[in-house]
């Protein structure tokens, strides 16, 4: 879950107050601006008195992700007026539509690989990021990305769209974004990302851009990978669940080798390499899978997943995802999901 740094919010609010004050002085007849200034002042007063972040109706803490998205909110979700609830619902539906348009096509076949995924928000919007980036004209390689933003709901979904923009921009241009010290590999391959950006450079740059634009306590675990037509897959795992490698004779897990994006602006990205033959796969997931609970409070867990994948290795990618969802449902035995859930299967089709 997202956490809030009070000091950070205070600085943000004071900065906004300054800007509002200037605007109100220049457009003194604008009642909406004056009202907003009053709201900011009230929030700063609540910080002084120690009541900031508490619902004015029930005095319970307001949902953290809503405070991050809008530091001026005064009521918890349970105590919004009917009008506020309707406005929120319609905003959420719009946000959900926008988010769905950012998802890649399902069942993509490119560069000798077959990709299938399942993306399931906990509520209307999701903090899980899922993307495939490749050239539609005979791609030699394909980038795959799976991430999980801290927290849930609107604030997390905004960060998910932010990650989408960052990775799309970096892989399409390969351009250095305000980074002077990066070195670039020679441009040799075709397809997106062909401006010579290597996987570790991509992650370092994405981390820097993300880090400079998130609030304290916000971060994203990520797996970024590049699968090439030779069967070689490069993977960087930044604080995310293990990537499961499903080969003919063994199932192994590639653990995280770094910290999540957004935690530190400086960092390193360790690239792990895997070679897959025809019919072999990678299985990626978010913790909405491994942390699914059953009625006795037990988690689905990586071990059960490993056994399931070992038993299911002959399934096609779409059938594997469907079978996994059935297995999780059976395990949960009616316990409702508590998080966003995304699964991705990458299967080598051609030699």
DSSP character at residue 335: P
How far, in Å, CA of 13 to CA of 202, rounded?
Answer: 33
CB-nearer residue toward Zn ion: 14 or 57 = 57
**Closest to 222 (Cα-Cα) out of 122, 128, 99, 119:** 128
Would you state the structure tokens that stand for residue 167, as one six-digit string?
Answer: 């990775």
CB of 77 to Zn ion, least distance (A): 8
CB of 63 to Zn ion, least distance (A): 10
CB-nearer residue toward Zn ion: 79 or 168 = 79
Strand partners, 20: none
CB of 85 to Zn ion, least distance (A): 13
Q: CB count, 10 Å around CB of 87? A: 12
CB-nearer residue toward Zn ion: 55 or 315 = 55
Q: Which positions touch Zn ion (CB under 5 A)?
A: 55, 57-58, 76, 79
How far, in Å, CA of 166 to CA of 214, rounded?
Answer: 13
How far, in Å, CA of 202 to CA of 181, rounded?
Answer: 13
Which residue's C-beta sits nearest to Zn ion? 55
CB-nearer residue toward Zn ion: 77 or 96 = 77
CB of 69 to Zn ion, least distance (A): 17
Cβ proximity of 282 and 233 under 8 Å = yes
CB of 54 to Zn ion, least distance (A): 8
CB-nearer residue toward Zn ion: 60 or 179 = 60
CB-nearer residue toward Zn ion: 52 or 285 = 52
CB of 12 to Zn ion, least distance (A): 23
336 burial via Cβ count (<10 Å: 0-12, 13-18, 19+): exposed
**Closest to 243 (Cα-Cα) out of 277, 204, 274, 267:** 274
CB-nearer residue toward Zn ion: 68 or 289 = 68
Q: Is 71 left (phi over 0), alpha (psi -120 to 50) or beta?
A: alpha
CB of 68 to Zn ion, least distance (A): 18
HSE on the CB side for 320, CA within 13 Å?
A: 30
Would you state the structure tokens that stand for residue 255, as one six-digit string?
Answer: 């653990």
Strands (E), 255-308: 271-275, 281-285
CB-nearer residue toward Zn ion: 66 or 240 = 66
How far, in Å, CA of 279 to CA of 49, rounded?
Answer: 62
Give the Cα-Cα-Cα angle 289, 151, 18 (nearest 5 degrees): 165
CB of 66 to Zn ion, least distance (A): 12
């Amino acid at each position: 879950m997202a956490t809030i740094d009070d000091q950070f919010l205070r600085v943000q609010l004071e900065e906004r107050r300054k800007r509002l004050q200037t605007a109100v002085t220049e457009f003194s007849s604008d009642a909406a601006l004056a009202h907003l200034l009053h709201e900011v002042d009230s929030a700063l007063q609540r910080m002084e008195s120690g009541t900031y972040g508490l619902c004015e109706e029930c005095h319970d803490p307001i949902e953290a992700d809503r405070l991050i998205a809008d530091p001026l909110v005064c009521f918890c979700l349970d105590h919004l007026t009917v009008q506020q609830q309707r406005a929120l619902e319609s905003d959420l539906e719009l946000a959900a539509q926008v988010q769905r348009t950012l998802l890649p096509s399902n069942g993509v076949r490119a560069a000798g690989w077959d990709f299938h995924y399942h993306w399931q928000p906990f509520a209307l919007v999701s903090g899980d990021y899922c993307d495939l980036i490749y050239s539609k004209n005979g791609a030699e390689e394909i980038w795959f990305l799976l991430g999980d933003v801290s927290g849930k709901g609107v604030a997390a979904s905004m960060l998910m769209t932010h990650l989408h923009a960052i990775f799309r921009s970096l892989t399409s241009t390969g351009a250095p974004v305000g980074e002077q010290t990066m070195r670039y590999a020679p441009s040799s391959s075709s397809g997106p990302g062909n401006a010579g950006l290597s996987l570790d450079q991509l992650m370092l740059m994405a981390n820097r851009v993300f880090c400079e634009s998130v609030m304290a306590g916000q971060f994203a675990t990520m797996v970024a990978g590049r699968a090439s037509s030779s069967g070689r897959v490069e993977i960087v795992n930044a604080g995310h669940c293990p990537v499961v490698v499903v080969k003919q004779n063994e199932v192994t897990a590639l653990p995280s080798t770094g910290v999540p994006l957004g935690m530190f602006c400086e960092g390193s990205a360790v690239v792990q390499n895997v070679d897959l033959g025809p019919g072999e796969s990678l299985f990626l997931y978010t913790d909405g899978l491994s942390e699914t609970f059953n009625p006795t409070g037990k988690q689905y867990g990586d071990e059960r997943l490993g056994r399931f994948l070992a038993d299911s290795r002959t399934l096609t990618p779409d059938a594997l995802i469907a079978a996994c969802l059935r297995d999780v449902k059976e395990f949960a035995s009616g316990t409702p999901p508590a998080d966003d859930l995304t699964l991705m299967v990458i299967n080598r089709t051609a030699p």
